[in-house]
Amino acid sequence: DHCVYAPSSSVYGGNTKLPFSIKDAVDTPLSVYAATKRSMELFAHSYSHIYAMPLTGLRFFTVYGPWGRPDMAAFIFIRKILAGEPIPVFNNGNMRRDFTYIDDIVAGVLACLDKPPVAQEGSAPNRVYNLGNNNAEPLMRFISVLEDALGQKAEIDFQPLQTGDVPETSADISETQRDFGFEPKTTIDEGLPRLVAWYREYYGA
């Protein structure tokens, strides 16, 4: 048996060293959400230690694409731009995210399924990895590419950084590349038009 679960890049909390590495400390969650994701990792480690069950945690970085949650930024932006409503852009647009297309996330999950961690002397069969695009993009460029895909300009409502949020995320995926051969393939220039095409078909927009 091998259990693969999904914590989050949010566990890196207030870390200022970029890109985020799995070797970095993750003891400063900035939100309740981040704290629950870190708790998940700790529970997994304990469970793995007690029951010798292989567990792998994949820290997803800003996933977007078809069938995503409608409360996530990409979907909010698309919906509001099409409706002619202003989109909220936090930290006055000074944000960078390691946007990762859903197909690359799925490829990463599948790649690790058949490679469960092996217990070493004094350690449980438990590992965590970063699953990201290995390229932090400015949020304003993300919006620009989305505007081009939609054929419509966004009205932007600049706002301060939200409490519990961070200005930048960036994934060091060297361990994921080494152990699973993971190589993300989808840039936002490719992924966002695919998302928009799916959105228009699914929602009839």
How is residue 186 written in tokens? 């989808």
131 beta partners: 60
- Residues designated catalytic: 33
Q: Evaluate whether 131 touches 173 at the Cβ level (below 8 Å).
A: yes
Rounded to whole angstroms, the Cα distance separating 23 from 141 reads 30
Pairing state between β 96-97 and 87-90: unpaired
- The count of other CB atoms within 10 Å of the CB of residue 85 is 12
Rounded to whole angstroms, the Cα distance separating 182 from 201 reads 30
Q: Evaluate whether 87 touches 77 at the Cβ level (below 8 Å).
A: yes
Rounded to whole angstroms, the Cα distance separating 176 from 110 reads 12
Torsion of CA 158, 159, 164, 169, to 10 degrees: 20
